[in-house]
């Protein structure tokens, strides 16, 4: 069968296109590398997630090569399997949107004009976006309604403009300790804001509401409350989904992609024809696929006569911190409030989304506060050493675990700021290493700009002050250049000039008539928020452009 649309990948970038095009009456096929899970499959199996990589490929079968560049320009090569260094996210229908925590912040108007607002930074490839916040705002609103976003749009210093007064779904229930946080922020002159979440607080949109298990990040949602592409979109359209389909090459002539070649679960080669092809395999794998699809018309890789495919890979810069709130400083009522099970913390700070240093305005970022993950394996393994760093066991370990797990609670924070694009952070192909399909793996060339650390450290100090004022102990911060594999973008940036970008304003390849890229690859810069909401919004925008082209 020849399809109207063939989509490679079914996550936040592919799901909206499948949903919109299929519901508009077009023949849509989605090629998804992983299996299809439903809500009944998403148990809280801590061993499966923490120890057995249930939702990602085994590195012995599929890996990446990582070339890590330090500040002195020295590059160290790592093979992912040997060093257990994985950049895979969720390989399943709905992709890693199944496993997100669902912290949803919009990018702000200045995120779209980073260069013109804040100026050049030496060694960074900063550009303005070819579209504005106003172009994307209606689609942010659409995501709120279709995916389901809960929250309270309180006004604060860096509130972004909205076309609706508030979110369509009310705030999720929060732990009573949030009022201690709000009080501490008020005393410090900080603006505490409720964190928007892509989680339904009650039954709606044909899905069940949140069960407050607190197993959001890294786990699939057993109720469907979390707004994954699978639950919110793909289960509500008639797109055909072919699972266990690893697309290894796109075939093309000089003007159009003609076929997608893939291996099925039995390692048999198959192919799909379509009028339009949409790649949404997540940023690293999207670049890898295009680079591996070279032919006589595109000898450097598909849509890559500009040499820009794989360039300007970005992650989310920042880091984490935490503090422990102990019973000893609390009243009996406060102890009860702190240990309320399930309900979220859900507080954020954006008071330094822009700040001034030495007379210059700098782009800052977002700080999200949350309780440590409910996964008992992760919590227990943090207790394996005493205060001097010595390994403990037996009764001593048992006593420490019991005390810390029953009479204290860890409040964490996550910092999000721009990972500046550079010449040294990109995706290439490593021809020395093949995956189980015999296909050359992607090489991730890593480098982070020193500016990223500077901004993150500034934000972390603000977060630490809140924890201290709340009475937290053992406050610690980890700000580093380590890239978070679940927050990756770039590699096929969009823009007006075909010489400096891969995609046009509608995320269609400059050099091909029928190839679109709708995952985070299109992003020239990432903003200072998690990416998922923006990926969703842009994919809905591109879906409209594709429909317009088909109806023209």
Could you tell me which residues come within 8 angstroms of residue 390 by beta carbon, excluding any fewer than 6 positions away?
Answer: none
pLDDT tens-digit profile, the chain (552 residues): 689 999 999 999 999 999 999 999 999 999 999 999 999 999 888 888 777 788 999 999 999 999 999 989 999 999 999 999 999 999 999 999 999 999 999 999 999 999 999 999 999 999 999 999 999 999 999 999 999 999 999 999 999 999 999 999 999 999 999 999 999 999 999 999 999 999 999 999 999 999 999 899 999 999 999 999 999 999 999 999 999 999 999 999 999 999 999 999 999 999 999 999 999 999 999 999 999 999 999 999 999 999 999 999 999 999 999 999 999 989 999 999 999 988 999 999 999 999 999 999 999 999 999 999 988 888 888 899 998 889 999 999 999 999 999 999 999 999 999 999 999 999 999 999 999 999 999 999 999 999 999 999 999 999 999 999 999 999 999 999 999 999 999 999 999 999 999 999 999 999 999 999 999 999 999 999 999 999 999 999 999 999 999 987
Using the 8-state DSSP alphabet, how is residue 385 labeled? B
Q: Cα(first)–Cα(last) distance of the chain, in Å?
A: 23
d(CA 245, CA 550): 26
To 5 degrees, how large is the angle CA 150–CA 154–CA 155? 145
Q: Are 310 and 426 in contact (CB under 8 A)?
A: yes
Two tokens, residue 335: 């102890």
Using the 8-state DSSP alphabet, how is residue 544 labeled? H
Nearest CA-CA partner of 235 in 362, 371, 93, 125: 93
- State whether residue 427 is helix, strand or coil: strand
Pairing of strands 28-31, 2-8: parallel
**Phi/psi of residue 403, nearest 5 degrees:** -65, -50
d(CA 80, CA 86): 6
d(CA 91, CA 222): 17
Could you tell me which residues come within 8 angstroms of residue 388 by beta carbon, excluding any fewer than 6 positions away?
Answer: none
Beta bridge partners of 76: 68
Distances 327 to 330, 385, 399, 404, 426 between C-alpha atoms, Å: 5, 21, 16, 10, 47
d(CA 186, CA 351): 12
What Rg value do the Cα atoms of the chain yield, rounded?
23
DSSP H or E segment with residue 232 = helix 229-232
Q: Are 93 and 243 in contact (CB under 8 A)?
A: yes
**Dihedral (CA of 21, 19, 523, 33) sign:** negative
Largest CA distance in the chain: 74
Alpha carbon 440 to its chain's center = 25
Q: Are 464 and 310 in contact (CB under 8 A)?
A: no
Two tokens, residue 409: 């609670």
Using the 8-state DSSP alphabet, how is residue 297 labeled? S
Two tokens, residue 367: 């700080």
- Write the CATH number for 9: 3.50.50.60
Q: Are 187 and 152 in contact (CB under 8 A)?
A: no
To 5 degrees, how large is the angle CA 96–CA 529–CA 280? 35
Using the 8-state DSSP alphabet, how is residue 235 labeled? G
Nearest CA-CA partner of 398 in 406, 389, 408: 406
Two tokens, residue 16: 């909206």
Burial grade of 163 (CB within 10 A; 0-12, 13-18, 19 or more): exposed
Nearest CA-CA partner of 439 in 299, 296, 292, 294: 292
In the chain, the number of structural domains is 1
By residue range, what is the domain housing residue 67? 2-551
Two tokens, residue 418: 């721009």
Query: pLDDT tens digits, residue range 227-259?
Result: 999 999 999 999 999 999 999 999 999 999 999
As separate numbers, helices (DSSP H) first and strands (DSSP E) second, the chain gives 13, 20
Query: pLDDT tens digits, residue range 44-70?
Result: 888 887 777 889 999 999 999 999 999
Could you tell me which residues come within 8 angstroms of residue 246 by beta carbon, excluding any fewer than 6 positions away?
Answer: 33, 262, 263, 437
Pairing of strands 440-446, 426-434: antiparallel
């Amino acid at each position: 069968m020849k399809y109207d649309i063939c989509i490679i990948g079914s996550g936040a970038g592919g799901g909206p296109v499948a949903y919109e095009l299929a519901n508009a009456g077009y023949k849509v096929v989605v090629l998804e590398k992983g299996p299809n899970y439903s809500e009944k499959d998403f148990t809280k199996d801590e061993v499966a997630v923490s120890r057995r990589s249930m939702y990602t490929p085994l590195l012995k079968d599929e890996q990446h090569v990582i070339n890590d560049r330090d500040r002195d320009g020295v590059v160290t090569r790592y093979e992912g399997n040997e060093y257990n260094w994985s950049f895979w996210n969720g390989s399943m229908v709905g992709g890693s949107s199944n496993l997100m925590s669902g912290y949803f912040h919009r990018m702000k108007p200045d995120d779209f004009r980073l260069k013109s607002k804040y100026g050049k930074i030496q060694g960074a490839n900063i550009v303005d976006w070819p579209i504005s916040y106003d172009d994307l705002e209606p689609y942010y609103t659409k995501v709120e309604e279709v995916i389901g976003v809960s929250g309270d749009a309180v006004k604060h210093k860096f509130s972004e403009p909205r076309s609706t007064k508030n979110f369509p779904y009310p705030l999720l229930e929060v732990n009573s300790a949030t009022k201690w946080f709000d009080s501490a922020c008020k005393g410090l002159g900080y603006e505490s804001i409720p964190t928007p979440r892509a989680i339904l607080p009650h039954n709606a949109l044909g899905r069940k509401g949140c069960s407050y298990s607190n197993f959001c990040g890294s786990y699939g949602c057993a109720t469907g409350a979390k707004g994954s592409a699978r639950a919110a979109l793909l289960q509500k359209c008639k797109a055909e989904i072919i699972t266990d389909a690893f697309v290894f090459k796109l075939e093309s002539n000089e003007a159009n992609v003609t076929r997608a070649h893939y291996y099925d679960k039995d390692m048999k080669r198959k192919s799909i024809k379509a009028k339009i092809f949409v790649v949404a395999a997540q940023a690293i794998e999207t670049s890898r696929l295009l680079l591996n699809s070279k032919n006589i018309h595109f000898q450097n890789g598909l849509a890559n006569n500009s040499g820009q495919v794989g360039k300007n890979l970005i992650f989310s810069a920042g880091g984490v911190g935490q503090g422990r709130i102990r019973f000893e400083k609390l009243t009996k009522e406060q102890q009860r409030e702190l240990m309320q099970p399930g309900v979220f913390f859900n507080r954020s700070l954006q008071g330094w989304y822009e700040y001034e240093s030495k007379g210059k305005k700098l782009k800052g970022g977002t700080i999200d506060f949350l309780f440590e993950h409910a996964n008992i394996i992760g919590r227990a393994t943090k207790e394996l050493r005493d205060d001097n760093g010595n390994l403990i066991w037996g009764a001593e370990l048992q006593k420490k675990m019991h005390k810390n797990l029953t009479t204290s609670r860890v409040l964490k924070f996550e910092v999000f700021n721009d990972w500046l694009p550079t010449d040294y952070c990109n995706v290439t192909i490593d021809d020395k290493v093949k995956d189980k399909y015999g296909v050359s793996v992607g090489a991730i060339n890593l480098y982070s700009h020193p500016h990223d650390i500077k901004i993150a450290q500034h934000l972390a100090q603000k977060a630490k002050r809140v924890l201290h004022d709340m009475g937290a102990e053992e406050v610690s911060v980890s700000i580093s250049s380590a890239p978070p594999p679940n927050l990756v973008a770039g590699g096929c940036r969009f823009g007006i000039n075909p010489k400096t970008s891969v995609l046009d304003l509608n995320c269609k390849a400059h050099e091909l008539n029928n190839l679109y890229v709708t995952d985070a690859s299109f992003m020239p810069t990432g903003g200072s928020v998690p990416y998922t909401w923006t990926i969703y919004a842009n994919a809905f925008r591109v879906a409209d452009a594709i429909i317009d082209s088909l109806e023209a």
